[in-house]
């Protein structure tokens, strides 16, 4: 099962406690304080990996924790730091914080507070209420590059040992402090696959067949609608120097922008692409019906977002191996008033020309970094 959205809580490890200890050796009967500080709590860290394309590894996980720091030791020994919990997620993962009404109100109260009053690591674990209703959703990170990391919940600081409290007038202090709790947050992870080209069209338009023929991706292919229930990525390699990534987005239906037929999940993955390849099956329907099919997809894209509706695209008529397809494709182009390329995903007719045309179009478009840019996380 393809999982592209998941909610969970993250909690950094608690810092280790400082301890009270005094140096006691045969030749130093009244040594001074030597209680060490506690270790730092581990942090929960997300790391982008190109080896994953979904959140299936987190599907049944409701909370992620990092190790606590260990207490300090005598002889001024610092407690061992807790290990970080590093979790791999797909490249293209967005990390949102789900804030409660109380958190939002506290943030408003801090608007005029000094800088040290603010924290970037999340709420203290002591004040966090996991069951509180969500009032606001804030984008924290957008992991676009392999190896990119984000500290979702920082570990707590270690407590101070009594060595830290020694003064000229207090040479045998018995004070020490406890470790601080790690930060805690409730998060929503959302995957938006990153590809150069997104294949869109009604169910059974032939997108999966086209992707499998052009790349090494192997999506399920059969002669019935909704064969593909998960997005697939494949690399089209024209030659060693020229390649691009193509994504097969599951078939859209009328009402997809309103959530019908898993529409929101599907449309999300089209947003990152630089170019849309609109595939239309011209094997049976008359040109007027084909135009209606075209308009359904365009309406759903525009309804989802204005940016998506205005994204550069190429219209491709598929199944040229069926008698009459060429005439229907030509008539469709005349109705739309724009070029329609004719191919066959089964026989490969017209594919080489199409792929090079896509390559040249991509070279004309905005570079990937700018095309995929979105408002920066807070």
Q: Which domain holds residue 100?
A: 5-24+31-191
Last-in-domain residue among 159, 191, 223: 191
pLDDT at 60: 92
- Is residue 256 scored above 50 in pLDDT? no
Assess whether 183 and 201 both reside in one domain. Answer: no
Last-in-domain residue among 191, 217, 244: 191
Split at pLDDT 50, 70, 90, the class of 222 is very low
Ranges of beta strands (E only) in 173-260 are 183-191, 197-200, 232-239, 242-248
pLDDT at 130: 56
- Is residue 187 scored above 90 in pLDDT? yes
- Is residue 244 scored above 80 in pLDDT? yes
Could you give the CA distance from residue 267 to residue 109 in angstroms, rounded to a whole number? 38
Pick the more confident residue, 101 or 149: 149
pLDDT at 129: 56
What strands, in cross-sheet order, belong to the sheet with 313-318?
232-239, 242-248, 197-200, 275-281, 313-318, 340-342
Could you give the CA distance from residue 91 to residue 149 in angstroms, rounded to a whole number? 10
- Is residue 218 scored above 60 in pLDDT? no
- Is residue 183 scored above 90 in pLDDT? yes
Could you give the CA distance from residue 252 to residue 303 in angstroms, rounded to a whole number? 13
Q: What are residue 49's DSSP bridge partners?
A: 90
- Is residue 370 scored above 60 in pLDDT? no
pLDDT at 147: 95
For residues 296, 363, 370, 272, the Cα torsion angle rounded to the nearest 10 degrees is 40
Weakest-pLDDT range from 83-92, 170-179, 312-321, 359-368: 359-368
Assess whether 178 and 203 both reside in one domain. Answer: no
- Which one, of 265, 278, 89, 93, lies nearest residue 193 by Cα? 93
DSSP assignments along 14-56, one per residue: PPPPP---B--BTTBTT--B-PPPPPPPP-EEEEEETT-SSSG
Express each pLDDT in 295-326 by its tens digit: 988 988 888 888 888 899 999 999 999 999 99
pLDDT at 208: 78
Tokens of 338: 């724009």
Assess whether 276 and 356 both reside in one domain. Answer: yes
Question: Which residue's structure tokens are 């947003």?
Answer: 271
Pick the more confident residue, 253 or 256: 253
Domain total in the chain: 2
pLDDT at 131: 58
CATH number for the domain including 318?
Answer: 3.40.50.300
The reply to whether 376 falls in a domain is: no
pLDDT at 306: 86
Tokens of 243: 């390649």
Assess whether 160 and 51 both reside in one domain. Answer: yes
For residues 58, 61, 63, 66, the Cα torsion angle rounded to the nearest 10 degrees is -60
- Is residue 342 scored above 90 in pLDDT? yes
Cα angle at 320 between 225 and 274, to 5 degrees?
Answer: 70
Split at pLDDT 50, 70, 90, the class of 369 is very low
Q: What mean pLDDT do residues 177-185 have? A: 97
pLDDT at 228: 42
What average pLDDT does the structure give for the chain? 82
- Which one, of 196, 233, 199, 234, lies nearest residue 318 by Cα? 199
Assess whether 246 and 361 both reside in one domain. Answer: yes
pLDDT at 258: 42
Which 3 state secondary structure label does DSSP give 330?
helix
pLDDT at 124: 55
Assess whether 225 and 361 both reside in one domain. Answer: yes
Last-in-domain residue among 191, 226, 245: 191
Question: Quick check: 133 and 102 in contact, CB under 8 A?
Answer: no
pLDDT at 133: 61
Percent of the chain with pLDDT over 90: 50
Could you give the CA distance from residue 293 to residue 253 in angstroms, rounded to a whole number? 9
For residues 235, 2, 200, 47, the Cα torsion angle rounded to the nearest 10 degrees is -50
The reply to whether 378 falls in a domain is: no
Assess whether 54 and 145 both reside in one domain. Answer: yes
Pick the more confident residue, 247 or 319: 319
Weakest-pLDDT range from 52-61, 87-96, 129-138, 146-155: 129-138
Which of the 8 DSSP states describes residue 195? Answer: -
């Amino acid at each position: 099962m393809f999982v592209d959205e998941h909610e969970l809580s993250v909690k950094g490890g608690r810092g280790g406690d400082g301890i009270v200890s005094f140096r006691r050796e045969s030749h130093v009967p009244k040594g001074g304080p030597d209680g060490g500080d506690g270790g730092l709590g581990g942090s929960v860290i997300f790391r982008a990996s190109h080896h994953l394309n979904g959140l299936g590894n987190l599907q049944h996980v409701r909370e992620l924790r990092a190790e606590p720091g260990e207490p300090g030791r005598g002889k001024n020994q610092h407690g061992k730091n807790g290990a970080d919990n590093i979790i791999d997620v797909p490249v293209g993962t967005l990390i949102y914080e789900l804030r409660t009404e109380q958190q939002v109100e506290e943030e408003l109260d801090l608007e005029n507070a000094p800088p040290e009053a603010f924290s970037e690591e999340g709420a203290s674990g002591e004040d966090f209420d996991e069951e509180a209703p969500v009032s606001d959703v804030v984008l924290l990170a957008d992991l676009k590059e392999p190896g990119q990391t984000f500290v979702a919940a920082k570990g707590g600081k270690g407590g101070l040992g009594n060595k830290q409290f020694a003064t000229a007038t207090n040479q045998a202090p018995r004070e020490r402090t406890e470790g601080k709790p790690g930060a805690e947050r409730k998060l929503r992870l959302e995957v938006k696959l990153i590809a150069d080209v997104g294949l869109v069209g009604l169910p059974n338009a032939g997108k999966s067949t086209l992707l499998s023929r052009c790349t090494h991706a192997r999506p399920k292919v059969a002669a019935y609608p909704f064969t593909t229930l998960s997005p697939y990525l494949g690399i089209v390699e024209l030659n060693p120097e020229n390649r691009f990534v193509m994504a097969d987005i599951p078939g859209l239906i009328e009402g997809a922008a309103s959530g019908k037929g898993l529409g929101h999940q599907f449309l999300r993955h089209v947003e990152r692409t630089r170019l849309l390849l609109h595939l239309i099956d011209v094997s049976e329907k008359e040109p007027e019906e084909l135009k209606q099919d075209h308009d359904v997809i365009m309406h759903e894209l525009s309804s989802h977002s204005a940016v998506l509706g205005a994204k550069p695209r190429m219209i491709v008529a598929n199944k040229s191996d069926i008698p009459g397809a060429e005439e229907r494709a030509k008539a469709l182009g005349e109705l739309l008033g724009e070029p329609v390329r004719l191919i066959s995903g089964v026989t490969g007719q017209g594919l080489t020309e199409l792929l090079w045309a896509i390559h040249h179009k991509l070279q004309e478009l905005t570079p990937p970094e700018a095309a995929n840019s979105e408002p920066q996380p807070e």
